[in-house]
Chains A and B, each alone.
Chain A
Amino acid sequence: MQEAEVKVRKRRLERAIKARTDTVFVIASPGDILYVLAPRVVPMAILLLLPLFVGGYHSKVIVHACVVGLLALSWELLASCGLFSLGQSLFFGVGAYMAGAMDKYLHLPIWVTIPVATLGGGALCALLLAPVVRLRGVYFAMVTLMLPILFKQIIEAWGILGGTHGLSGLTAFPNEWLDKYLIIVAFITVLFGLRSLITSDYGLVLKAIADDDRAVMSAGINIYSRKVQALFIAASVASFAGAFITHHYQFAGFSVFALDWAILPLAAAAVGGTGSFAGAALGSMILVPLSEALRAMGGLRMAIYCAILVFAVLALPEGIFRFLERKYQEFETVIEVK
């Protein structure tokens, strides 16, 4: 007789607490409440508390991660209505220069420059790109890729807005804590704000446009104005990040239009997983610290981001966030096979 081999097999179950749809949880116990809240509250708390414990260089990394995070969230909002941006640096740069110019030439205080640059930058970009949203497909990507590079060249050639030297000696934040916490709180607010926006009926319409714009039109919705609205919101978010950076470094130069600000958010969204805001946020929290570690590589850094980006698109189409989410919602048991 052969000795019976004990075979085991893994069984995977979806946690019972999660009901049919994505948003409905059946909560029955404090444990369930914890289960639902923990992934939302814990990362937020870590992000909020971290600056209290680390300082100097590390807090710069946090700030940088939040800035890229805002750009990635803005990218994700556009993507969710079918607009693929290759030029987050456009929105970022417009916000940065607006705040810089208001500070330098009009001597307006920070609490004016930042809000005005946020909304003004959003409006300007929406206006600039409004004609493009009439076209589908690659046009939007093409135009958003070109505009920041052209803007940079114009500033360079014309010497406007400080030309190659940029605008320097701008107003700093009154204190270091306001500086750090402004961006962290903004990042968290935008993350949760956009998440609830996209699950509302308004967001549903945006997603429907990406799905089938014709069907949306036949349902009596002006898709062009919706897309411009989304553009305004997304551009405002990115412009805020730009305006913040201007005051953070007390400087606005044409490096704000550099490809870094286009590639890094895109890579963050791709690594974290496109299709969810949390993915974009998670992606930037992973990539930015990583990229700081790559700073020593100097010029090679961009090439590495790009390699990561290609790898993420080809090998992790689902993204890290969706993977974690799936794992969190299911549990595995080992059962014996007879």
Chain B
Amino acid sequence: MWLIVYGIISSVILALYAVGFSLTYGVSGLPNFAHGALYILGGYAIWNLMNVAGLSIIAAAPLTVITCGLLGFGLYWGLLLRVRGIPLSELVVTFAAGVAILELLTWSGFYGIRYSLPVFWEESIEIFSVVIDGQRILVLATGVALVILLHLFVRHTRTGLAFRGLAQNERTALSVGIEADWIGSLSVAMGSGLAAVAAVVVLPLGMMEATIGYEVLIYALAVAIVGGLESTTGMVLASFIIGFAQTAAARYIGPKWMIIVPLAAIVLVLVVRPSGLLGKFKELEERV
């Protein structure tokens, strides 16, 4: 029982890490390697809003998400716009921007016990004789809510439909009046906003330091590779596989095995099914 409950929770955390990265890549084909940095910036923003500006968490959380979204927007219009369509430059720019942010934060002393966030809900409850604290329940609820909201958004709003259009065929989307840059920047902004959402709910569970940004990026990439880029279902599935495997490994074999799990999952998937569990094998199906 413990395994199931905590397995689900760590899976949802992984999905939260990955969802923003997947969304951006799925819509505009932009690999946002600054994802981990945006996650940490989310933590940095909410900490400052609460501890420096003295806002309550209810006010600080949405503000954080909006700030990160705007940052994502800025990232697109400020840096990515010039290199759009050059894969090498896109990835180098996002990666370098991400590392620069993380290193800058580390340098400015953004680590240590001082930087911790209060949990949202102090109580804990017991399900099937497993004790879960309120924060983890919040994580769970956020994860589920996000998946549902995203689904509705993509199917039923104009912007969502434009997202799908762009993801399917950029040229045709352009010809029916969808502005690629606008949608592209929106996708980066939403991805960044989602990173901030993840930061707001997940960071109170542990310490906050800039180096966590690398970890978040790594996990987001691992989930994307295992699940298959561009596939949302694949992303959720991969989060659950890696999440459960990690929880089980940590519990039954030893914590040091936890790190092996994503590595093993990636190697296995790449050998057996390189396009990821649910990814399309783009390479062969592309029109010739």
Contacts and interface: CB of A to CB of B under 8 A. Distances in A.
Interface string A124-142: 0000100110111111011
A145 B34 CA distance: 13
Nearest to A214: B288
B274 A135 contact: yes
Contact of B100 (A141, A142, A154, A307): A307
A159 B88 CA distance: 36
Contacts of A146: 218, 221-222, 262, 266
B91 A84 contact: yes
Q: How large is the interface on B (under 10, 10 to 19, 20 to 34, 35 or more residues)?
A: 35 or more
A78 B19 CA distance: 30
A150 B88 contact: no
Contacts of A132: 270, 274
Contacts of B82: 314
A190 interface: no
B122 interface: no
A134 B274 contact: yes
B89 A303 contact: no
B103 A135 contact: no
Given A145-B221, A298-B107, A306 B91 contact: no
B31 A300 contact: no
Contacts, number: 118
A112 interface: no
A158 B253 CA distance: 13
B103 A84 contact: no
A299 B96 CA distance: 15
B95 A135 contact: no
The 6 A-B residue pairs whose C-beta atoms are closest, nearest first, are A306-B100, A131-B270, A299-B107, A302-B103, A306-B96, A303-B103
Given A266-B92, A299-B106, A306-B103, 16 more contacts: A79-B88, A86-B91, A131-B270, A132-B270, A134-B274, A136-B282, A138-B25, A145-B218, A157-B256, A270-B92, A300-B104, A302-B103, A306-B97, A309-B92, A310-B79, A313-B93
